Structure 1
C-alpha cells in the first residue's frame, strides 16, 4: 500500500520495510478475525481462549497501524516531492478512488451479511458520510489520501513544529477530547506516524544500521513495560499516553523487522512477499470474512465433539485462509481485466513503454 518509489534512488531495496508491512497486514487480518468472528462463536469450552486472543490483539494495537503508517511515510518521500498533478494522480487521487471503489463493494457485500459486526451504510446519507468525513474499516486508504495532501501542503513547515502539532492531534484524539466517530479517530491518531516516517527517514536509516539484539531486547522491554503500566493505571485515554506507547511499539517493530530480515531469511521472505501485496489483502479480506462468518458461526457453535484444539487455533487457520484467498482473488480479478480495482490510474510511463 505505501509508495514504493521512495526507495528507488538506491539500487538495493531494503527488505525490512516489506517484512514489517507483512507482519502488520497479518495482524490486521488476525484482529478482524478475532473481534468480528471468533469472539462471537459459542465455543462452549471452559478454557478462556476467546479472552486470550482478544487480549493478545489489544496488546498489539499500539504497534500495528502506527508501524504501518511509519513505513508508509518512509516510502512516501519521493512521491511527496513530485509536481502537484503527478502527486494528485498517483497518490492522493489513487487512494481516494480506491477508498470509494472498495467502500461501495464492501457496502454491497455487507448488505447480505447483516449480522456481521462492522460499520456499514444503511442509507444514502450514511454512505455520503462514510465517503467524506467518517471512514469505515477501509480508513487506511482514506488516511493515505489525506496524509499525502497534508504532507505536501506542509512541506516547508519545520519538522519539529509539524511533528509536535501531529503528536498533539494524536494525543487529543486518543484522549477522546474531540469527536471521533467510527474510524475518524484513527485518522487523527496516526497522522503523526506517517509524517514522522516521512520527515525522519535519514534518522531511521541511521538507526537501522546500528540495530542489534541488545536494541531488540531494550525496545521490547520498553514496549512491554509501557503496556503494563498503561493497563495497570487505566491510562489508555490519558493525554499523550497512547501515542507515546505507540512510539515505543514502533521502535520495537522496526528493530524486530530489521533483525528478522537479517537472521531468519525464510520467514522474512514470506513476510516480505506479503508486504508488497498488502493492498489486495487489505481491501478484500473483510468482505470474505463477512461471508465466512455467516457460513461458519452457526456450525462452529454446535460442533460436536467440542474440541479445545480447534477453539485455540481457529483464528490462525482462518487468518491464513483469508490471506491466501485474497491473493488468489487478486490474481483472478486481474486476469479477468479488472486491474483498475487495484490500480485506478495506471502509471503513464508503463503505458507509454507498452505503446512504444
Structure 2
C-alpha cells in the first residue's frame, strides 16, 4: 500500500490509474537493480499486494457473511471455506506489511517534517475519517459480526488504543514513526525486539483486545521489509521453480505441524510460520510475475488497494443485510448450487462495488477521503 509520493503533491495513497491527477512511482536506489530490472520487481510486489487484498476481502466475506448463513445442505462445504481461509492467516497481513516496508524504505529517510505530514499524519487522517464512516454505516447492519463502536467512549477507544477493522492504516502511522525514530539504529537492535513483541503477542502473553494483536505481531514484518529491502529484492529476482517448490512445501508442512500439535500459541511458533509464509509469498509472486496474463490484472489491483481496503467493509455490511435472510431461506437444492462458489462470487462483487464507489467519490470531488488535503488547498478553501 505504500507508494513514494512527492511531498508537495496532493495525492491519495495507492489510488492508482482510476484517479485523476494521481500517479504511482516506485523508486529504487541506484545500485540495487538486478538483472530482473525495477519494473519486474514492482510487478511482483504489486501482484503480491493484489493477492493480499483479495485474501483480505475473501476472509471477511467468509467469516462475516458466509459462515453466518444458515446452510442446510448436509455437506461440510462452509467448514471447508473457513478452514481454507485460516491457512492464509500467517501469509496475508505479514506479506502485506513486508511489501509495505519495502516501499517505505525511501520515505523513512526523508526529513521528519515530510514523514510526519506525508505519512504519519496522512495515515492517521485516513484512519480517523474512515473510522467515522464505518461507524455510521455498520450501525445500519448490526447483524454483521465485526468490531464497531456503539458509544462515544467506544469510538474514542478505537481512535486511540484499540484500533478497529481499519487497523492497517493505524499500524502504518505507528510503524512509520518507529521506523523514522530508529533509522540510525543497527537493524538487529530494531528487528529483535519487534520479533520478540510478535512472539509474545501471538503466544497470548499480552493483552490484545480488538485488533491490537495484529498491531503487535506485524511490526517486525514492516521493519524487515524496510531494513532487508535489498535482500528481498534479490530473493525475488532470483526466484526459480525449485525454490517455489521448497518454500511452498515448507509452508504447508509448517501449517500441518502447527495444526497437529496445537502449537499456534507456543512461543515463537506463529511468527516463525509467518516468516515461512512471507518467504513463500515473495517467491510465488516473483514466479507469478513471469505470466503477464495473470500478474498484470493482479498488479493493477495491487496498485489500488487503499479504496478496496477502506470501502469493502461497509459494502459487505450492506450486502450481508440484504442477502442473509434470503440465502438462508433457500431450499437445500438451491443452496447446493451456490454453496461452493458463493464466497468467490461475493468477494468479486464486494471488490467491484468498492472500486465503483471509489470512482463515484472521485467524480464528485471527494478525493479528500483518500488523502490528507494539501496545505495550499486548505488555505484556498478558507
Per the normalisation by structure 1, the TM-score is 0.95
Pick aligned residue for 1:87 from 115, 124, 147: 115
Pick aligned residue for 2:326 from 299, 305, 311: 299
> Partners in 1 of 2:230 and 2:373 — Cα distance?
30
Q: Which runs of 4+ in 1 moved over 6 A?
A: none
Corresponding residue number in structure 1 for 2:183? 155
CA contact (8 A) 2:95 2:281 kept: yes
> Partners in 2 of 1:86 and 1:172 — Cα distance?
33
Pick aligned residue for 2:54 from 26, 33, 41: 26
Pick aligned residue for 1:219 from 230, 247, 251: 247
Q: Within the alignment, does 1:133 sit opposite 2:133 as a pair?
A: no
Quote the offset at 1:347 in angstroms. 9.4
> Partners in 1 of 2:4 and 2:54 — Cα distance?
20
The DSSP-based 3-state class of the residue aligned with 1:7 is: coil
Render the CA deviation track for 1:80-113: whole Å, top value 9, x for unaligned.
Answer: 0111111011100110010000000000011111
Corresponding residue number in structure 1 for 2:295? 268
> Partners in 1 of 2:59 and 2:374 — Cα distance?
32
The DSSP-based 3-state class of the residue aligned with 1:180 is: coil
Q: Within the alignment, does 1:328 sit opposite 2:347 as a pair?
A: no
Corresponding residue number in structure 2 for 1:55? 83
RMSD: 1.4
The DSSP-based 3-state class of the residue aligned with 1:211 is: coil
Corresponding residue number in structure 2 for 1:7? 26
Render the CA deviation track for 1:211-269: whole Å, top value 9, x for unaligned.
Answer: 1000000000110011011001100000000000000000000000000011x211101
Q: Output aligned runs, 1:333-348, within 5 Å.
A: 333-346=361-374
> Partners in 1 of 2:369 and 2:257 — Cα distance?
44
Q: Output aligned runs, 1:37-56, within 5 Å.
A: 37-56=65-84
> Partners in 1 of 2:216 and 2:269 — Cα distance?
15
> Partners in 2 of 1:58 and 1:9 — Cα distance?
34
> Partners in 2 of 1:141 and 1:230 — Cα distance?
30
Pick aligned residue for 2:270 from 230, 239, 242: 242
CA contact (8 A) 1:99 1:142 kept: yes
Per the normalisation by structure 2, the TM-score is 0.89
User: Which 5+ residue runs of structure 1 have no aligned equivalent?
Assistant: 352-356
